[in-house]
A and B are shown apart, each in its own frame.
Chain A
């Protein structure tokens, strides 16, 4: 619990990083485009990536801040508004980072990137304004002050919500199942790295695992959503995130299977690029993943801590793949790190528990 309060207190500190870095990044890219300066463009790209990573960490600390603000009877509607704009901003910047990674300042599409970046800065500004309003109008995070605009009856009822034992057990089961799947993926990759016998045949199993896992997740992710029930719609944030991950897994499995059979082509760089972006997307989904069943309970706090750890591991996976692109001569090192990170993710999922993580109890 103390860790969650510490992380929530970091939110006002963290917000400065994406605001400063992203505005500077776009300014550098505007200058680079105007002067056709590749060095300025390089700086702009670095700042853009750092700012977007900062945005992810700002979001997860914001999740904790939201829980503690709600518990202090700050109204939830303005916090939801701030969170919605933060979600949109985060994902637009993830798209921009991915798009920008293919561009140089001479590309014609650089103009499109700049237009998207300026729009994203507008979203970032609105997000910041909503956040500022939370503090100045609603007194969020101000200690020793009674909130000037009180929480509503619905807010208090949301604070009272607790997950049922069935919900918790089902969620833990799903995490464990996927932990074993990730472990199999790690073993599959390790088998290839070590170039053990029959490696070509074994290589075919990875995509099968991804597609099977995706189909399983699409069906069983939420027992109170399609296809098992019609209680929750796909617009429920939690259901949407799960179905999105399932779709990504199926797409990745099919694409990987097709690419694997591409004759006489070095697709390693493109695969690494793709996996780096997917890892960034996966980390982003984890960081912006919100649990809607009992959003302010102790269970929710524990889940956000789990997501923080898993999100960091996912971003680390993406970083390893980007390093593989930059320093391909150290391929073996990146392969070992990649497998090691997958093993850590598998371990985290297999030992996952709903609520405060076991390693903090």
Chain B
């Protein structure tokens, strides 16, 4: 094929495929180098040994045609896989790395409000019962387990914004996907202090139903994520059961 056609194919292959496993970060130069070394050494060793074993067979003129045929097949295979790897490596090394669409992915996954600091997103949702839920995710909005962060919550005076008692620690959900705390039904303004590795941050939220930052209704027996303590994929939590203990 003409080289120009391969060049046009680079963006097409690279654009959707810069992810590795479930990590959306592009490969670093060291990782690309390690891949190439692994590949070249393995196939180089195999080819070198195969050459030594098969070499004397080419001296037999009667079998040369058959050997050339098989050799072409093998060479095509090795060339194809090598070219595939080289093309992808070049695409990843030299194309502009996609930056996380940090300002485009502030969607409300749980019907709450989203805040951001550094590479962290926090979505806080409020139910009319007074329950607050905190979901923390990374720059790509991939969820972070509650095992890795803690938070405290306190109601704020709606007029002065000053946080007041009681300050309480938020508890882990059973699935460790969010922290929650139950305040008074009238507490619509809160301050959260979220502790992630290496830093703490204070976030203020006001749930003003008249301004559109709405609290969620209490949903008993509803399906899907975000319903009050119910997930259709798990057995329903019996009424009156205790909160899960936080693991240290």
Question: Which residues of chain A have a CB within 8 Å of any CB of chain B?
Answer: 73, 77, 80-81, 83-85, 87-88, 91-92, 94-95, 98-99, 147, 149-154, 156-161, 230-238, 240-241, 243-244, 247-248, 250-252, 254-255, 258-259, 262-263, 265, 267, 270-271, 273-274, 277-278, 281, 285, 288, 291-295
Contact = CB atoms under 8 A, between A and B. Distances in A.
Contacts of A267: 53
Nearest to B24: A154
Given A159-B148, A233-B20, A254-B70, A91 B46 contact: no
Contact of B45 (A147, A231, A281, A295): A281
B38 A244 contact: yes
A84 B31 contact: yes
A294 B92 contact: no
Interface of B: 13-14, 16-23, 25, 27-28, 30-35, 37-39, 41-50, 52-54, 56-57, 60, 67, 70, 73-74, 77-78, 81, 84-85, 88-89, 92, 118-120, 137-140, 142-145, 147-149, 196-199
A232 B21 contact: yes
The dominant DSSP class at the A interface is: helix
Given A73-B197, A254-B70, A292-B21, A153 B119 contact: yes
Contacts of A238: 21
A278 B33 CA distance: 22
Contact of B196 (A156, A161, A270): A156
B57 A258 contact: yes
5 A-B pairs with the lowest CB-CB distances in the bound complex, closest first: A292-B21, A150-B198, A84-B30, A150-B197, A153-B138
Contacts of B38: 87-88, 91, 240-241, 244, 285, 288
Given A161-B22, A274-B53, A235 B32 contact: yes
Contacts of A247: 43, 77-78, 81
Given A88-B33, A160-B144, A240-B85, A270 B21 contact: no
Contacts, number: 206
Contacts of A94: 41, 45
A279 B143 CA distance: 41
Given A88-B37, A254-B73, A292 B22 contact: yes
Given A153-B119, A157-B140, A295-B21, A277 B45 contact: yes
A123 to B, nearest CB: 9
Contacts of A161: 22, 142
Contacts of A271: 53
The dominant DSSP class at the B interface is: helix
A258 B22 contact: no
Contacts of A80: 28, 30-31
Contacts of A255: 50, 53-54, 74
Contacts of B147: 159-160
Contacts of A154: 23, 25, 119, 138-140, 142
B50 A251 contact: yes
A65 B28 CA distance: 21
A99 to B, nearest CB: 8
A88 B31 CA distance: 9
Contacts of A263: 60
Nearest to B176: A160
Contacts of A95: 41, 44-45
Contacts of A281: 42, 45-46
Contact of B119 (A83, A87, A147, A152): A152
